[in-house]
Structure 1
Amino acid sequence: MQNPIYIPIVNSQDEIIGHGEKLEVHKLGQLHRAFSILVFNKKRELLIHQRALHKYHSGGLWTNTCCGHPNEGEEMQAAVIRRLIEEMGFGCELNYSFKFHYKADFENGLTENEIDHVYVGEFEGDFKVNPDEVADYKWVDMETVLHDVTISPEKYTVWFKEILKREEVENLV
C-alpha cells in the first residue's frame, strides 16, 4: 500500500497554513495549492492528455499536459518538474505564468478547491507516458481545442476549461 501523500492547505492569499492527506483534503473541500502545466511544441501545438479511466475523479476526461500538487515540504518548481516526468515521461524547462482559484464539486463527493499555479514549457522529442496516469494524448492547435471545448465541454476537466478562459492564455497562443 502506498504511503499517504500530504499536500499544502492554503488560505485565500495562497499562504500555506497546514498540510493534509490528499484524498481527505478533496473529501473535505479544503482550499489547497495545485499546479497545471501547458507544454507546447515548436508549431505552438498544445500537448493534452486523457486522464486514466480509474483516476479518483475526472477519469477519461481530456485536460492540459499535466497537473498535480506539491508534496509537503516540496518547492513548487521541483514539484512541477517531478510531476511532468512522472506523468508524461519527459522533462523540460517550465516557467510560471499565472495563478487562479476555482472550486468544483464532483459526483463522487470530492471537491477541488484549488489555487492553481499555471506553468508553461516547450518540448520536442519522443516520450512515453505513464499508463497509470494517462489513457491517451495528442498535440492540438489552440484554435482546435478552444473550439472543441466550446462544442463538447463535457469531454474536458473543469480546471482545463478554467485555464482556457483566462486572458493570460491569449498571450500564449
Structure 2
Amino acid sequence: MKPSEVILVNESDEAIGTMEKMAAHYKGLLHRAFSVFIINDAGEMLLQQRALDKYHSAGLWTNACCSHPFPGEATLEAGHRRLQEEMGFDCDLHEIFSFTYRTEFDNGLTEHEFDHVLLGTYNGIIYPNAAEVNDYRYLSANHILELMEKEPGTFTSWFHYALPIVLQHLDLRVNTTGV
C-alpha cells in the first residue's frame, strides 16, 4: 500500500505539489487539511477524543473529525469520507471558513496546515471507529468553553483556533460573563 500523501499549498491554498504525509509533518510544510464540526438540533457540538495511539495529539478532545484530502480529491468529498471512516455516519456539510495554523509537537512533528472548516448537523446514531476515536460526546458551547478554560491542554491546538470562529458563525448564545 502506498503511503498517504498530502497536498502541499501556498498561503493562498494553491496546490504546489504533494508529499508523503509524515515527511510533510517532519518538515513542517504547509499542506491542505480540513476539520469537520457537527452540531445537533439542540445546538450541542459533537466532540471526539482522539485515539490514544494517534501519531500526535493522542487522547485530546477535538471536533468531530479532521484529516487531509488526498491528491485529486475535493476537500468537501474528503470531509464526507473521513466523517464516515472516523465516526460511522455522514451528513450534509458545507465550508464556513478556512485558516492557517502551525503547531510544533514534542515528537518532532509539526502541523502546518491550511485548514478548511466544514460544518454539518446530525442527530442520529454514531458508530465511532475505535482505531481513530477513544470517546465522543455532545456538549453545549458554554460547557466546551468552560472545559477549555479549566483544562486547555486536553484539547487539540487547531480546536483552540477554530472553535471561537465556529461559535461566532453559529451565533450560539454563549454566556461570556462566567455566571
TM-score bracket for this pair, using the shorter chain length: over 0.9
Aligned to 1:90: 89
Q: Is 1:21 aligned to residue 20 of structure 2?
A: yes
AA partner of residue 71 (structure 1): F
Give the structure 2 partner of residue 106 of structure 1: 105
| Secondary structure of the corresponding residue to residue 81 of structure 1 | helix
CA distance in 1, matches of 2:115, 2:167: 14
Question: Counterpart in 2 of 1:148?
Answer: 147
Looking at structure 2, the residues matched to 143 and 164 of structure 1 have their Cα atoms a distance apart, in angstroms, of 12
Runs of 4 or more, structure 1, over 4 Å off, are none
Q: 1:122 Cα deviation (Å)?
A: 0.3
User: 2:168 matched to which residue of 1?
Assistant: 170
Counterparts of 2:163 and 2:120, CA distance in 1: 16
CA distance in 1, matches of 2:47, 2:14: 30
Q: What residue is the counterpart of 2:7 in the other structure?
A: 8
- The residue number in structure 1 matching 2:133 is 134
Deviation at 1:18, TM superposition (A): 0.2
User: Which runs of 5 or more structure 2 residues have no equivalent in the other structure?
Assistant: 173-179
Instruction: Show the counterpart of 1:63.
Output: 62
Find the residue that maps to 1:171 and give its secondary structure: helix
CA contact (8 A) 2:141 2:167 kept: no
* Letter of the structure 2 residue corresponding to residue 143 of structure 1: N
Matches of 1:154 and 1:20 in 2, distance apart?
A: 30
Distance 2:101 2:167 in 1: 16
Q: How many pairs does the alignment contain?
A: 171
Shift of residue 169 of structure 1? 2.7
Q: Distance between the aligned counterparts of 1:3 and 1:55, measured in 2?
A: 19
Deviations 1:72-127 (A, max 9, x none): 11111110000000000000000100000100000000000001100100001112
What is the distance in 1 between the residues matched to 2:100 and 2:126?
31
The Cα of 1:164 is off from its aligned counterpart by 1.7
In structure 1, what is the equivalent of residue 72 of structure 2?
73
TM-score by length of 1: 0.96
The CA RMSD over aligned residues, in Å, is 0.9
1:11 to partner: Cα distance: 0.5
Deviation string, structure 1 residues 113-171 (Cα, Å, up to 9, x no partner):
001100100001112100000000000001110111111100000000111233x5313
CA distance in 2, matches of 1:165, 1:21: 31
Distance 1:12 1:171 in 2: 23
CA distance in 1, matches of 2:169, 2:71: 32
The letter of the residue matching 1:140 is L
SS in 1 for 2:159: helix
Letter aligned with residue 10 of structure 1: V
